[in-house]
Structure 1
């Protein structure tokens, strides 16, 4: 993978760096939140992170600012943000542990599958529709959990279950894609 010097400062990549920088800010504000306003600020940071994620992809595609570095840093920023949010929610609500474990298993497996394909000079080029839907559902449900700190346990479980279902669908989609691509290179 060749990374040009100018790629570091392209707008989509700067937005990805910004998202990574928001992670400790979100984590601190969420962990120290006491009032509903504090939780609203944490949710606002999460919203800004999601908005910059959508914006960096739009700018990369529509203004020819896509880079090899961006193909690496954007998903890393996404996964680190998702991991941080799920971890912070787990600290508040231990029931989130099941979603956090599912997320870790899914992402580690996808990383491993991508590495095996990379060794055979194949790559999964960008997120697929099932992965994007899983991410949208993940962020939506996590946003609701962040902004509504007094939610009932039944509703928390419902959101975790909904998110988990879409994570499993995405995981199955990537497993099928991996095996399909793996067969092509044998």
Structure 2
């Protein structure tokens, strides 16, 4: 494991470089989506999101497979995820009004997760990765965002159904994380 590596070597590890790349793709995704004026432009934005998603999968795979997991990477990966998701949700809210409600829920959920994560870290505790319901929520959110960008002429009713499903799963995930953090706070230690 490379957690004992000096910070300089952690910074340039392949998985961490992929995380930085995902962060750099965020303004490109937003720009391509917000300036799109043809179906081809929307599809290019969707392809860029796909590249970001593949890179997200690969950075974790490479880190685990080649023992390149670092403390820095454990911070960069979720930051890249949340910045990407937040930027896309916000961008989509300009076209799909219901997405604005999802953006508010996203900020509340991720704000809660961030604050609780910091509070637990200060007590020497840590959530060891996302729980299954968090992973399902994230996967569905990415799928919905990808579809809304890939199919720009989707009927508003269809878009609202997709956004509603994603919102329901996000709310469920938020509510299920509350007892996880509560248990961590009471018992101490890490949660898997």
TM-score by length of structure 1 reads 0.96
CA-CA distance at 1:124 after TM superposition: 0.8
The answer to whether residue 57 in structure 2 is matched with residue 80 in structure 1 is no
Inter-partner Cα distance in structure 1 for 2:75 and 2:122: 16
| Structure holding more helix per residue | 1
Bigger Cα displacement from structure 2, 93-102 vs 13-22: 93-102
Deviations 1:17-48 (A, max 9, x none): 00000000011110110111000000000011
CA-CA distance at 1:137 after TM superposition: 0.4
Inter-partner Cα distance in structure 1 for 2:67 and 2:121: 25
TM-score by length of structure 2 reads 0.93
CA-CA distance at 1:118 after TM superposition: 1.2
Inter-partner Cα distance in structure 1 for 2:65 and 2:177: 26
Inter-partner Cα distance in structure 1 for 2:188 and 2:70: 25
RMSD of aligned residue pairs (Cα, Å) = 1.5
State the partner residue of 2:104: 101
Inter-partner Cα distance in structure 2 for 1:147 and 1:90: 15
Bigger Cα displacement from structure 2, 50-59 vs 162-171: 162-171
Q: Give the alignment partner of residue 162 of structure 1, picking from 162, 165, 189.
A: 165
Inter-partner Cα distance in structure 1 for 2:138 and 2:184: 23
Aligned residues: 186
The answer to whether residue 36 in structure 2 is matched with residue 33 in structure 1 is yes
Structure 2's unaligned 5+ residue stretches are none
